[in-house]
Amino acid sequence: MNFNLKIWRQKSNKVPGSFQSLFVKDISEDMSFLEMLDKINEDLILKKEEPIAFDHDCREGICGTCSLMINGSAHGPQKAITSCQLYMREFQNGSEIYVEPFRAKAFPIIRDLIIDRSAFDRIQQAGGFISVNTGSAPPANTIPVPKEKANQAFSSALCIGCGACVASCKNSSASLFTAARIFHFSKLPQGQAEKTNRVLNMVKQMEKEGFGACSHTGACSVSCPKEISLETISEMHREWRKAFLNKTT
């Protein structure tokens, strides 16, 4: 397969970037999108040109680092996958493919397709934990958890912190990420004691990082590779209101 690629190149967030046109040929339809980028980089290195900087680690949809905007969609045209799980057979032979980094004020570009997502770490550090000494692992049935609550906590825990929700939101809101990280803990009995501070502190940090407000268009949930539901955000808003009233009355 052959493709006309337009790849975003930018040395740092201090200098402007632009698209570089690259014609690539002899791409196997069974190559993943990242393997195609590897092949391009091998060719660039052989030509003594600067390889394309892009993030990746697990290459199996777990780590959330491979955040690419492909033809205007976060993680590409397919639903419920990350960029590393996308295969070249999903594109038409000879087509033009635009590849950009995830764009948001709170995600400054480091280089080419790599962005700085440490704002997510700071939201997590503001309350995404349970501060008790748990000791060694207790038997699984010591603390009974209703199945429905366990499922809700597990669905939230699926968030891999990729940032697709922010990149696809017109307001660059991090509400889906923050809500998922809150409910990962707040649905479980162990997470109850710090529930109030958790939601207040994490939402406060989200706002401090410069992410926008949620206007419920649902673009975040549609582009989320782990299909975290929009309802999670509504629940976060309800929990935030309750926590705010508890603190102020």
Positions touching ligand SF4 (CB under 6 A) are 64, 159-165, 176-177, 180, 224-226, 228
180 binds, options ligand SF4, ligand FES, none, Cβ within 5 to 8 A by partner type = ligand SF4
Report the nearest approach of ligand SF4 to the CB of residue 81 (Å).
11
65 binds, options ligand SF4, ligand FES, none, Cβ within 5 to 8 A by partner type = ligand FES
Token pair listed for 118? 């440490």
Report the nearest approach of ligand SF4 to the CB of residue 174 (Å).
8
76 binds, options ligand SF4, ligand FES, none, Cβ within 5 to 8 A by partner type = none
Compare residues 79 and 238 and give the one whose CB is closer to ligand SF4.
Answer: 79
66 binds, options ligand FES, ligand SF4, none, Cβ within 5 to 8 A by partner type = ligand FES
Residue 75 to residue 33: CA distance in whole angstroms: 10
Residue 116 to residue 107: CA distance in whole angstroms: 5
Could you give the string, one character per residue 32-71, with x where binding to ligand FES holds by CB under 6 A and - elsewhere? ------------------------xxxx-xxxxxx-----
Compare residues 59 and 237 and give the one whose CB is closer to ligand FES.
Answer: 59
6 lines the binding site for ligand FES (CB under 6 A): no
Residue 39 to residue 214: CA distance in whole angstroms: 39
Compare residues 22 and 63 and give the one whose CB is closer to ligand SF4.
Answer: 63
Report the nearest approach of ligand FES to the CB of residue 235 (Å).
26
Residues that bind ligand FES (CB under 6 A): 56-59, 61-66, 82-84
